[in-house]
């Protein structure tokens, strides 16, 4: 943990006292963790690059308990760190100093599911995969899917505005989330848990909390629109020779697969090497510079199959695709998805990671990987690129044997300047958290950041919610 320069000062929040502990213990009937070994898992982030020093982890079960916790913390000037599944990749989910961790782990009840409308209402701590399994039994699915589905909570997903593997088809949470219940810093319960598709009555306040990374309130319940489960799902893994060709294949897939296209992901050969080497996954194709994963989901397998076959014939016959395999059977589909979904996990085994999550205009999306490779030369063990090509989202990971400040200085701010120059975003879907908050100016004008800071003051005047995260400090 030595590499991460905590270039921040603890703000003047109160420290937790014995009396505070007694209050929380009474309120939560013992659902308070002070055991340092258990706390460790919540103080350290998923990438194991950050460590906070919280002495208290609270596990409320109800909105009322969250409300009482926040009212008390606000009165006492105690800082709070909301936490879901702790799978965030930008250090938003762990304390920086001794903030009290409020975990949604025990808020995991499904409140209702309406099979007419497809609207699911549930508590914020429901694990994404559990929700999806619950819905699948009723022929529905969640509108989002992430590699971290086994651990991440729906509240955390909404708080980060997570994108993931299905965004291409079902859109972002800004469209599928219909309502939220949020507890504000002073304990006020904001019940905007609507399940209506259309509701133009005043400002859409829920949007403020989507992607706010726990800095404006704690999300306690979510109302979300869920699509039907598709009767027919097929996955194709294709190899191709150059990035330009992956774009041509994307264009072709949009025109030939149209409404049944549900994912268009890509990885370069270094990602393939990392998953095969560290996770012992098998590559079903011959070696290729780039791989594309295409998923189709539709209601009629014959119809979908016919479309997919036509598409594959076309892209293979004109030489865009050099090799390919297709699956309709669940196990084979899972095995192909694993090559893409498990890259993050495999990279952790490869060395120290400099992780970037970038949006760029499609034509330039891979250029930055080549630029960084040339710039860093042998100082980087690997420079890999993969991501949600269909959404214009590249995951650039630079791997080194260990943390190296000089290497970091060669990457930043150069990389951020390059992204800004090319009209991209320095965070496509992971958020800013603790690690990236000071780079917000590369993607947002000063006036926008100022309005964000004013909104923070209105909703959380004492700044107790996730301090040191998302927004740069006022002086900047
Ligand atoms: P946490 O990590 O616990 O918290 C994330 C942020 O949200 C923190 O700032 C926290 O304070 C805040 N927060 C959490 N719960 C609440 C709440 N109830 N109210 C208010 N604030 C809250 N992300 C993507 O976008 N797309 C992907 O494809 C993707 N794939 C991933 C794959 C892997 C293997 C891993 C490890 C991560 C991946 N992520 C991805 C990142 C991460 O999983 C998402 O950001 C996820 O939405 C975080 O959910 P969580 O419950 O773990 O939240
Ligand atoms: C994914 O799409 C995640 O797999 C993680 O967003 C990306 O590890 C990464 O860089
Ligand atoms: Zn992603």
Ligand 3 centroid to residue 298 C-alpha, Å: 23
Which protein residue's CA is at the shortest distance from atom 1 of ligand 1? 86
**435 Cα: distance to centroid of ligand 1 (angstroms):** 14
Residue 2 confidence (pLDDT): 42
94 Cα to the center of ligand 1, angstroms: 11
Q: What stretches of 137-181 show up as alpha helix (H) in DSSP?
A: 154-160, 167-170, 173-176
ipTM above 0.85, yes or no: yes
pLDDT on residue 473: 80
Sign of torsion over alpha carbons 440, 344, 167, 109: negative
- Distance (angstroms) between ligand 1 centre and the Cα of 156 equals 5
**What does the pLDDT look like over 356-380, one tens digit per residue?**
999 999 999 999 999 999 999 999 9
CB 466: neighbour CB atoms within 10 A?
A: 29
Beta bridge partners of 265: 293
Task: With a cut of 70, list the residues of the chain below it in pLDDT.
Answer: 1-5, 474-476
Fold of 110-225: 3.30.465
Instruction: Look at the alpha carbons of 386, 387, 389, 392 in this order and tell me if their dihedral is positive or negative.
Output: negative
Instruction: Measure Cα distances from 431 to 45, 156, 197, 270, 427 in Å.
Output: 15, 11, 26, 25, 6
Would you state the pLDDT for residue 333? 97
- The binding-site residues of ligand 2, defined as CB within 6 angstroms of any ligand atom, are 147, 343-344, 355, 387, 395, 397
pTM of the entire predicted model: 0.97
Cα-to-centroid distance, 310 and ligand 1 (Å): 38
Residue of the CA atom closest to atom 10 of ligand 2: 395
Pocket of ligand 1 (CB under 6 A): 46, 81-89, 92-93, 104, 124, 146-148, 152-153, 155-157, 159-160, 162-165, 213-214, 218-219, 344-345, 429-430, 433, 466, 469
Give the start-to-end residue ranges of the domains of the chain: 110-225, 232-343, 351-430
Residues linked to residue 233 through DSSP beta bridges, in sequence order: 297
Domains 110-225 and 351-430 agree in fold: no
What pLDDT score was predicted for residue 474?
A: 62
**What pLDDT shows up at residue 400?**
97
Q: Class for domain 351-430, per CATH?
A: alpha beta
> Which pLDDT score is estimated for 475?
52
- Residue 476: predicted pLDDT: 45
Tell me the C-alpha distance between 449 and 395, whole Å.
25
Token duo for residue 180:
């939220």
Element (H, E) at 235: strand 232-240
Which atom of ligand 2 is least distant from the CA of 395? 10
Q: How far is the CA of 205 from the centre of ligand 2 (A)?
A: 29
Q: Please check whether residue 236 is in contact with residue 290, taking contact to mean a CB–CB distance below 8 angstroms.
A: no
- pLDDT tens-digit map of 226-267: 999 999 999 999 999 999 999 999 999 999 999 999 999 999
CA angle in degrees (0–180, nearest 5) for 184-190-193 = 135
Query: Ligand 2, residues 266, 358, 395: which to mutate, most atoms within 8 A of Cβ?
Result: 395
Cβ pair 47, 355 in contact under 8 A: yes
Fold classification of 232-343 (topology level): Alpha-Beta Plaits (3.30.70)
| CA gap 256, 409 in Å, rounded | 45
CA of 102 to the centre of ligand 3 (A): 26
Pick the ligand that lies closest to the CA of residue 212.
Answer: 1
């Amino acid at each position: 943990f030595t590499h991460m320069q905590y270039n921040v000062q603890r703000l003047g929040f109160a420290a937790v006292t014995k009396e505070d502990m007694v209050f929380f213990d009474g309120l939560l009937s013992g659902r308070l963790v002070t055991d340092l070994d258990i706390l460790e898992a919540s103080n350290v982030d998923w990438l194991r690059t950050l460590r906070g020093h919280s002495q208290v982890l609270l596990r409320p079960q109800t909105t009322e308990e969250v409300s009482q916790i926040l009212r008390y913390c606000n009165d006492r000037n105690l800082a709070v760190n909301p936490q879901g599944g702790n799978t965030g990749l930008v250090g938003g989910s762990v304390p920086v100093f001794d903030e009290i961790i409020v975990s949604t782990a025990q808020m995991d009840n499904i409140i209702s599911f309406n099979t007419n409308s497809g609207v699911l209402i549930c508590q914020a701590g429901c694990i994404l995969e559990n929700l999806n399994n619950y819905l699948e039994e009723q022929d529905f699915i969640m509108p989002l899917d992430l590699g971290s589905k086994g651990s991440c909570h729906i509240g955390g997903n909404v708080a980060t505005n997570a994108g993931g593997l299905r965004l291409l088809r079902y859109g972002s949470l800004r469209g599928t989330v219909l309502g939220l219940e949020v507890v504000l810093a002073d304990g006020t319960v904001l019940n905007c848990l609507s399940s209506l598709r259309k509701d133009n009555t005043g400002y859409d306040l829920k949007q403020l909390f989507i992607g706010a990374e726990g800095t404006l309130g704690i999300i306690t319940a979510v109302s979300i629109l869920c699509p039907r489960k598709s009767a027919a799902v097929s996955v194709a893994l294709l190899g191709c020779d150059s990035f330009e060709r992956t774009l041509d294949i994307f264009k072709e897939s949009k025109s030939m697969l149209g409404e049944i296209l549900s994912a268009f992901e890509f990885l370069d050969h270094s990602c393939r090497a990392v998953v095969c080497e560290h996770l012992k996954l098998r590559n079903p194709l011959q070696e290729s510079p780039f791989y594309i994963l295409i998923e189709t989901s539709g209601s009629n397998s014959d119809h979908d199959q016919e479309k997919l076959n036509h598409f594959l014939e076309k892209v293979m016959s004109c030489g865009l695709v050099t090799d390919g395999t297709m699956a309709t059977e669940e196990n084979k589909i899972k095995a192909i998805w694993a090559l893409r979904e498990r890259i993050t996990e495999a990279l952790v085994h490869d060395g120290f990671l400099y992780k970037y999550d970038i949006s760029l205009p499609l034509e330039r999306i891979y250029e930055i990987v080549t630029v960084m490779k040339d710039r860093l030369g042998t100082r980087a063990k690997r420079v890999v690129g993969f991501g949600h090509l269909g959404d214009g989202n590249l995951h650039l990971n630079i791997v080194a044997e260990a943390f190296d400040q000089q290497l970091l200085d060669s990457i930043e701010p150069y990389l951020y300047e390059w992204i800004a120059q090319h009209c991209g975003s320095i965070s496509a879907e992971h958020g800013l958290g603790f690690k990236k908050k000071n780079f917000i100016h590369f993607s947002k004008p000063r006036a926008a950041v100022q309005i964000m800071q004013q909104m923070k003051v209105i909703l959380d005047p004492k700044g107790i919610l996730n301090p040191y995260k998302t927004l740069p400090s006022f002086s900047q």
